[in-house]
Amino acid sequence: MGEPAAERGRAGREALVKHRPAKGVITRSDLPVCDFSANPYVGCTHGCRYCYASFMKRFTGHDEPWGAFLDVKDWPTIKHPEKYAGKEVFVGSVTDPYLPEEEQHRRTRTLLEQLRGSGARLSIATKSDLILRDLELIREFPDARVSWSVNTLDEGFRADMDQAVPIERRLAAMKAFHDAGVRTTCFVSPIFPSITDVPAIVEAVRDRCNLVWLENLNLRGAFKADILSYVATEHPGLVPLYDAIYRKGDMAYWQELDRDLAAYAGRAGLEYRTNDDTMLRPFDAPPVLVNFFYHEKIRKSSRGKGQAEPKQPAAR
């Protein structure tokens, strides 16, 4: 399928990109928010320092660091796409489907075109505004929804954590989809304790989304030491808090944040729920805040136990 090649994305970084044959692109999913998942790419050039999906590297045969490679899937044309009618297909469960490389390779666009008219219900997770290219096509799908990950309004912190597009561009794309009648979600993930200002983000997006999903920072695997080192260097005053959460398994911060956000939602006139996908509300209703904190997962990860893939709502 061609030799690997180094490609420079729109953010100016290089990644090893190669095509690889795939038997298919849609698989059954155990995620609580969908029936099937689809990932047109393997690997992710956003290079998020906290990415839980980096566990996928061990299945790829790559020696390069997570974020430095991308496999472009080439699959046969989907036969009988109508079998997905009424089913939710989550595009981007472990790899952003709108990476900069999608502009050239168009695998996500191909997937959408193959599902066009099938009756599938789309759920797409991204950190990109490249998805604006496909707005009209996505609108054709029943009950389509798109989520953007936004865990800060501080562009400096964003740039320290990921190489995706700036937050302002994500919020503009969210507004364009919402204005076009597509259900949108702001995925506040991961929440960095005492760094992520959740109410400020909610105020910035409440006019352009139907849901606000909230998820804790879950430090696992190889990136745990890197994040704790970053906090020690850039936010030394937070070291005791992060040690308590991620070394000692103290749950108090998340429990207090849960109470504080519930109180904030009440003052802001917003519903606050726990582990509820809330898809059936009227489109023009104010957004619902949904707490997806997984306290047991935090406890296990903070003590270095449990490497199973965490349950995730539809988002990256």
pLDDT in tens, 179-214: 999 999 999 999 999 999 999 999 999 999 999 999
Least confident window among 4-13, 52-61, 94-103: 4-13
Average confidence (pLDDT) over 213-236: 92
What pLDDT, on the 0 to 100 scale, is given for residue 134?
98
What pLDDT, on the 0 to 100 scale, is given for residue 39?
95
What pLDDT, on the 0 to 100 scale, is given for residue 9?
38
pLDDT tens-digit readout, 95-121? 999 999 999 999 999 999 999 999 999
Q: Are 20 and 40 in contact (CB under 8 A)?
A: no
Residue 275 or residue 309, greater confidence: 275
pLDDT > 50? residue 314: no
Average confidence (pLDDT) over 234-255: 96
Give the predicted TM-score (pTM) of the model.
Answer: 0.88
Confidence of residue 293 (pLDDT cuts 50, 70, 90): confident
pLDDT > 90? residue 298: no
What pLDDT, on the 0 to 100 scale, is given for residue 53?
67
255/252 Cα distance (integer angstroms):
5
What pLDDT, on the 0 to 100 scale, is given for residue 280?
74
Least confident window among 6-20, 38-52, 58-72, 228-242: 6-20
What pLDDT, on the 0 to 100 scale, is given for residue 13?
59
Confidence of residue 223 (pLDDT cuts 50, 70, 90): confident
pLDDT > 60? residue 278: yes
Closest CA to 217 of 90, 113, 100, 310: 310
92/104 Cα distance (integer angstroms):
18
What does the block give as tokens for 117?
Answer: 């008219």
